[in-house]
Amino acid sequence: MDLDLSHPSIEDLRKTARKRIPRFAFEYLDSATGRELGLQINRDALDAIGFMPSVLCGRTKADLQTTFLGQTYDLPFGIAPIGMAGLMWAGAERLLAQASVAHNIPFSLSSVAVASPEDVAPYIGQNGWFQHYPVNSGALRRAMLKRIKAAGFRTLIFTVDIPEESRRERQRRANLTVPPKADLRTIANMLVRPAWCLAHLREGIVPRMRFFDDYIPQRGRESFTHAGALIRGIPDWQYLHELREEWDGHLIVKGVLRPQDAKRMAEAGIDCIWVSNHSGRQFEAGPAVIDQLPKIREAVGPEVSLIYDSGVAWGLDVMRALAKGADFVMLGRAFQYAVAAFGARGIDHVIHILKTDIEANMSQLGAEKTSQLADYFLP
Ligand SMILES: Cc1cc2nc3c(=O)[nH]c(=O)nc-3n(C[C@H](O)[C@H](O)[C@H](O)COP(=O)(O)O)c2cc1C
């Protein structure tokens, strides 16, 4: 199958993923909170950003190499952390880590992924970032940080936009509970997706949170009790200051929308602010994420790096975020749809879609460098 013809967009990959994975896994991946207004708010705001094309610029070639947090990547986008990625497709974390090195883009491992830091350590090269949720003791946090570092992760993402579980209605309708139920309906959901079942049998790993499991008394089903409610800590400024003291690599804070928060983080010595609303999964009545980027840039000044995510579905969206002040862009669902649809081949394909879309659109503008994109905004 020529994926360029059958699946020219991320939406095409999404549709195929939907047919390949059990309903509960798809709804977990695809849904947002409440009425899902957060998704539409982000989409509308991205679509509202236009550029003015320029002509007679000769043959331009977009230079997409991007130096970010001291490392040069081949593309200005990377892979965001996804909890339970290996549930959507067996071995997803390994496949994504391998692809990140092959394409030289960053790969983020969620602390609630199926794979542990050690599982993916052989595949991350220099490109692995690790995502951390607050835990309930300093000693536990320090033990985790030591382990993450030993596994080869040099960049830490501290996610702060999940103070509590959110209500995702589609997830509920799909019978997805925490901890998960192994009832007849769930089993039937799995059996109608034989390729997904086979992939799990081949991988030989029961989807569970392997990293968190190591820190709780009862393993397996219990560890799902939201990101291990058993070890969940309180996200506050004190926690952030302690983390900054303890982690000597790059520290990114993920899930920030309010400029005053970002300013305070910059003052606390944070290297990078990840501007995101978790793609509408946590709260649906906030601002469009893209509209916060320039405000946060103004609040933190030029020295602090900014990442954008939430709703990126085309290369053009990557350009929009870069033009609005992001230094780097991350995608969550797109990579998961791709791996669920076509495994490793799907990941290569989604990167190809994004890269060629950026190249085609930048040539329409006559732009060669992503740093020039803001010069092309519609007046
Ligand atoms: C199924 C799913 C699981 C996620 N799990 C995590 C997680 O464990 N940690 C985290 O920081 N963000 C998590 N996120 C948020 C993503 O990292 C990212 O912010 C978001 O998916 C970006 O929006 P996009 O999916 O529209 O690209 C998750 C998102 C999804 C869709």
Confidence of residue 39 (pLDDT cuts 50, 70, 90): very high
The C-alpha atoms of residue 88 and residue 24 are separated, in whole angstroms, by: 9
Ligand 1 centre to CA of 113 (Å) is 11
Question: Per-residue DSSP letters for 308-362?
Answer: E-SS--SHHHHHHHHHTT-SEEEESHHHHHHHHHHHHHHHHHHHHHHHHHHHHHH
Q: Which atom of ligand 1 is nearest to the CA of 84?
A: 3
| Position 118 pLDDT exceeds 60 | yes
pLDDT value at position 210? 86
What's the whole-number mean pLDDT along residues 210-219? 78
Ligand 1 centre to CA of 59 (Å) is 38
pLDDT value at position 239? 97
Q: Which of 86-95, 120-129, 179-188, 273-282 has the lowest mean pLDDT?
A: 179-188
The chain-wide mean pLDDT, for the chain, equals: 94
The C-alpha atoms of residue 103 and residue 348 are separated, in whole angstroms, by: 8
pLDDT value at position 225? 57
Ligand 1 centre to CA of 81 (Å) is 6
What are the pLDDT digits (tens) for 288-340? 999 999 999 999 999 999 999 999 999 999 999 999 999 999 999 999 999 99
Residue that the structure tokens 């030591």 belong to: 146
Boundaries of domain holding 266: 3-51+66-368
**The total number of structural domains that make up the chain:** 1
Residue 375 belongs to a domain: no
Residue 162 belongs to a domain: yes
The C-alpha atoms of residue 191 and residue 23 are separated, in whole angstroms, by: 11
Q: 168 CB under 6 A from ligand 1? A: no
Q: Which atom of ligand 1 is nearest to the CA of 39?
A: 26
Question: Per-residue DSSP letters for 26-82?
Answer: HHHHH--STT-HHHHHHHHHHHT--B-------S---B--EEETTEEESSSEEEPP-
| Position 243 pLDDT exceeds 90 | yes
Instruction: Spell out the residues 6+ positions from residue 297 whose beta carbon is closer than 8 angstroms to its own.
Output: 306, 325
Q: Of 314, 311, 315, 309, nearest to 359 (Cα)?
A: 315
Residue 58 belongs to a domain: no
The C-alpha atoms of residue 186 and residue 183 are separated, in whole angstroms, by: 5
What's the whole-number mean pLDDT along residues 119-141? 96
| CA-atom Rg of the chain in angstroms | 20
| Position 217 pLDDT exceeds 90 | no
pLDDT value at position 315? 98
What's the whole-number mean pLDDT along residues 362-379? 96
pTM for this prediction:
0.97
What are the pLDDT digits (tens) for 249-265? 999 999 999 999 999 99
Cite the beta strand spans of the chain per DSSP E.
Answer: 66-68, 71-73, 77-79, 107-109, 128-132, 155-159, 250-256, 272-275, 305-308, 328-331
Residue 216 belongs to a domain: yes
Q: Which of 241, 278, 349, 352 is catalytic?
A: 278
Which of the 8 DSSP states describes residue 208?
S
The C-alpha atoms of residue 50 and residue 364 are separated, in whole angstroms, by: 13
Nearest CA to ligand 1 atom 19: 278
Confidence of residue 111 (pLDDT cuts 50, 70, 90): very high
Instruction: Spell out the residues 6+ positions from residue 104 whose beta carbon is closer than 8 angstroms to its own.
Output: 73, 74, 75, 127
- Largest Cα–Cα separation, the chain: 67
Neighbours of 314 (CB within 10 A): 18
Contact assessment for residue 86 and residue 208, using Cβ atoms and an 8 Å cutoff? no
What are the pLDDT digits (tens) for 188-209? 899 999 999 999 999 987 788 8
Residue 121 belongs to a domain: yes
Q: Which of 33-47, 91-105, 225-239, 298-312 has the lowest mean pLDDT?
A: 225-239
Q: 133 CB under 6 A from ligand 1? A: no
What are the residues facing 157 on neighbouring strands? 131, 252
| Position 181 pLDDT exceeds 80 | no
Q: Which of 178-182, 210-214, 222-226, 275-279 has the lowest mean pLDDT?
A: 222-226
What's the whole-number mean pLDDT along residues 94-100? 98
What's the whole-number mean pLDDT along residues 53-58? 95
| Position 351 pLDDT exceeds 90 | yes
| Position 364 pLDDT exceeds 70 | yes
What are the residues facing 131 on neighbouring strands? 157
Contact assessment for residue 175 and residue 183, using Cβ atoms and an 8 Å cutoff? yes
Contact assessment for residue 96 and residue 119, using Cβ atoms and an 8 Å cutoff? no
| Position 69 pLDDT exceeds 70 | yes
Instruction: Name the amino acid, one letter, at 17.
Output: A
What are the pLDDT digits (tens) for 158-169? 999 998 888 899
Residue 169 belongs to a domain: yes
Residue 56 belongs to a domain: no
Q: 310 CB under 6 A from ligand 1? A: yes
Between 226 and 269, name the one with better pLDDT: 269
The C-alpha atoms of residue 118 and residue 106 are separated, in whole angstroms, by: 17
Nearest CA to ligand 1 atom 10: 81
Nearest CA to ligand 1 atom 23: 310
Q: Which atom of ligand 1 is nearest to the CA of 112?
A: 8
Contact assessment for residue 26 and residue 170, using Cβ atoms and an 8 Å cutoff? no
**CATH number, domain with residue 205:** 3.20.20.70
Quick check: is 278 catalytic? yes
Ligand 1 centre to CA of 99 (Å) is 18
Sign of the alpha-carbon torsion through 268, 273, 278, 284: positive
